[in-house]
Amino acid sequence: MSKLKMPSGELRVATAGIDLIDEALISQQVIPTSTHWRPPSEPGLASILSNIALSSAVRVANQAALERLTSARPHLIGITTALEAVGLETGCFLHAGPPIQWQNTSGPLRGALIGAALLEGVADSPEDAMGKFERGEFHMEPCHHRGAVGPMAGVVSSSMPMSIIEDSVTGRRAYCTLNEGLGKVLRYGAYSTEVLERLRWIEKVLAPVLHETIYASEPIDLYAMVGEALQMGDECHNRNRAGTSLFLRAIGPLLIESKHASSTVAECFRFITGNDHFFLNLMMPAAKVAADAARNIPGSTMIVAMARNGTEFGIQLSGTGDEWFTGPCGVPQGLLFPGFTAEDANPDIGDSTITETVGVGGFAMASAPAIVKFVGGTSDLALDSSRRMYDITIGEHPLFRLPALDFRGTPVGIDAALVVRRNQLPVVNTGIAGREAGVGQVGAGLVDPPVKCFVDAVARFAELNKTLIQSA
């Protein structure tokens, strides 16, 4: 054994892993350079993860997937019905998240399905609707399977208006309903008369006015608005005040020139300006069309969908086709509205995690310190949330930049293998739905996805790509 030499000169220490070592060093006046390393989530996958990390084929595939994800330029080109948009017949219902059976649905999804059945006139009462869903008389399918996305319950039925988002690069399209506003709304599982009347007004009044306005306009460049909104305090998932403002600025002159009665058009403007989340339902399909462009690249471990049905959280990888990998939904932690307690909160629900999938939402939290107030956090937590996401992403977004991080591109392209290897879950911002059908929104906050879905996805990827990753 050679004699131990003490270091001479200035002591510089790099650390990896638990904070204890950092703290011990700092107490001795040595400031370490620390990294975020943690042991993998699943020790059993260690050699697989190592092979994936070393595989140049995976690296090339992930770069290709990222390139497609970030080069999309989604534009709003019009409004149509779900029947026209995605061929949704009466008696068929889309919902958020991975596939689910009626028996397993949580309160808010159940409430929204009941409301949609009443809206379409295929049920006479909530009890009638429940009976028909139970007996399998209605068809249920994820939004994601029809090129669509839906916030919270994400329920879509045949007559509902949907925005048409077209990627000008690929010509691909995606769809989403129009945002209904806050409080008691279908997407949070409320289905009272007031809720259904608002949905009918959206169909009969708002949708035609908006469609003609958008049709009279050049296609509306949504990613330009997202890029700008990130400079204006939005993270484009749980805060959309700037996005909604920019959208209203874009369509304002066209609304003024609308052929509809000015009192009707003013009512539409007031509806949109009264709801700072209006832009979320435009951003989500914009994100969907970008994520879909990155699907089906063999050898890619990049996530192309993350979605929750209120019971299970599911993800899809570019390199594993249409297969869903799922785990149980967590309950979001955050700010509950007055009169509600943690008991009232439903597990995580909605397709809105498509925003995190394309590099905004929780990943862009550094742009929106107002969001961390929900969880009693500080502006440092906002910065740190974004910074940690660079550890699990493939690159930085060329259009979406974070002013508070000196205009660095947002972390984008979640690599499921990195999530497991670095044991670092994606940060998700979300609204919180009431647990009971019919209650509506009870708060907003942050939630951790289940580790299981990432572990399962990586295991399946490795199984499908044995040759590819063993040749590394």
- 22 vs 323 by CB, closer to its own copies: 22
Which of these segments, 114-122, 250-258, 330-338, 457-465, binds its own copies (CB under 8 A)? 250-258
Length of the chain: 472
Among 169, 196, 248, 464, binds its own copies (CB under 8 A): 248
Residue 370 sits in the site that holds its own copies (CB under 8 A): yes
Task: State the helix-helix crossing angle for 126-134 and 107-119, rounded to 10 degrees.
Answer: 110
- 53 is an interface residue for its own copies by CB under 8 A: no
Please answer whether residues 308 and 426 qualify as being in contact, where contact means their C-beta atoms are separated by less than 8 angstroms.
Answer: no
* Pairwise CA distance, residues 402 & 193, whole Å: 42
Binding test (CB under 8 A) with its own copies, winner from 12, 139, 145, 270: 270
Q: Is 262 in the site for its own copies (CB under 8 A)?
A: yes
Cα gap 221→224, rounded to integer Å: 6
Binder to its own copies among 2, 8, 193, 263 (CB under 8 A)? 263
**108 backbone φψ class: left, alpha, beta (φ>0; ψ -120 to 50):** alpha
Q: Which of the 8 DSSP states describes residue 136?
A: T
CA angle 376, 382, 388 (to 5 degrees): 125
**162: β partners:** 80, 177
Site map 179..208 versus its own copies, x via CB under 8 A: ------------------------------
Residue among 145 and 270 whose Cβ is closer to its own copies: 270
Nearest distance in Å: CB 367, its own copies: 9
Q: Which is nearer to its own copies, 114 or 246 (CB)?
A: 246
Tell me, what DSSP letter sits at residue 358? Answer: T
Binding mask 382-411 for its own copies (x = CB under 8 A): ---------------------xxxxx----
Distances 158 to 23, 107, 162, 206, 417 between C-alpha atoms, Å: 59, 22, 10, 17, 38
Work out which of 51, 62, 106, 245 binds its own copies, going by CB under 8 A: 245
Cα(310)–Cα(96) distance, integer angstroms? 8
Contact (Cβ atoms closer than 8 angstroms) between residue 455 and residue 420 = yes
Minimum distance of its own copies from residue 400's CB (angstroms): 14
Burial pattern 225-239, b for ≥16 Cβ within 10 A else e, equals bbbebbebebbbbbb
First to last CA, the chain: 36
- DSSP string of 180-208? --SSS-GGGT--SHHHHHHHHHIIIIIHH
Which of 39, 252, 376, 398 touches its own copies by CB under 8 A?
Answer: 252
Q: Which CB sits closer to its own copies, 370 or 472?
A: 370
* Window contacting its own copies (CB under 8 A); options: 41-49, 227-235, 325-333, 384-392: 227-235
256 binds its own copies (CB under 8 A): yes
CA-nearest of 368, 394, 393 to 381 is 368
Nearer to its own copies, 31 or 60 (CB): 31
- The answer to whether 125 contacts its own copies (rule: CB under 8 A) is no
Nearest distance from C-beta of residue 407 to its own copies, angstroms: 7
Query: Is 331 or 370 the residue whose CB approaches its own copies more closely?
Result: 370
Query: Applying CB under 8 A, which part among 52-60, 261-269, 291-299, 307-315 lies near its own copies?
Result: 261-269
419 and 399 Cβ atoms separated by less than 8 Å: no
**Which residue ranges make up the site for its own copies (CB under 8 A)?**
29-31, 228, 231-234, 241-242, 245-246, 248-249, 252-257, 262-263, 265-266, 269-270, 273, 369-370, 373, 378-379, 403-407
